[in-house]
Chain A
Amino acid sequence: KQEVTQIPAALSVPEGENLVLNCSFTDSAIYNLQWFRQDPGKGLTSLLLIQSSQREQTSGRLNASLDKSSGRSTLYIAASQPGDSATYLCAGISNDYKLSFGAGTTVTVRA
């Protein structure tokens, strides 16, 4: 059974600072790992998907890495902006085809 943990639970930074969000998982046989963004009371928006054969994915200011051997993924957000304030969730898919989510990291970027 896949267990996903995200640390820290909350993070507050001044605008312009780089963000580092951590995700760890227990089952190294994951098929892929996804990072999502969730605004308060809203659904999930997919940010990046890393397949098991890949080590990282990039989209604009976002970069996500995946290390299956250590069971870790990291989401980097460069030059943070107040609009980046949200909850960030990571989720992995294993051979049971379901997404297993962490509890999320709530980010506040102060102007």
Chain B
Amino acid sequence: ETGVTQSPTHLIKTRGQQVTLRCSSQSGHNTVSWYQQALGQGPQFIFQYYREEENGRGNFPPRFSGLQFPNYSSELNVNALELDDSALYLCASSYEPSGRYGETQYFGPGTRLLVL
């Protein structure tokens, strides 16, 4: 157990809808990162938040947005869902954003999103 939780565990939406996924980080972790993992592939970095500010973004369109709250919870919002958005969405938390200090990221179990 990493202490990182995500909700819901599974979700089915239709194309064009909007979805909000939630993550609860370990207490004291100021950094949360979100990843998208398509079937049979490695996770792809969506964005990272540090102390409630966006701290880096991967190659994802603006319809992917996020929020981080002071209580160590965060959200991933996806607007105008497309079929290709079907994937496992993972959040990961850590104390600091940089990996240079040997900082590991602790992953939640993920939310599996299916877009029909």
Task: Give the interface of A toward B (CB within 8 A).
Answer: 4, 31-32, 34, 36, 41-46, 49, 51-52, 89, 91, 93, 96-104
Contacts and interface: CB of A to CB of B under 8 A. Distances in A.
A43 B109 contact: yes
Q: Chain B's interface: helix, strand, loop or mixed, by majority?
A: loop
Contacts of A101: 35, 42-44
Nearest to A52: B100
**Interface size class of chain B, counting residues whose CB lies under 8 Å from the partner chain:** 20 to 34
B98 A99 contact: no
A99 B6 CA distance: 19
Contacts of B56: 96-98
Contacts of B108: 43
Nearest to A49: B104
B97 to A, nearest CB: 5
B112 interface: yes
A32 B42 contact: no
A97 B102 contact: no
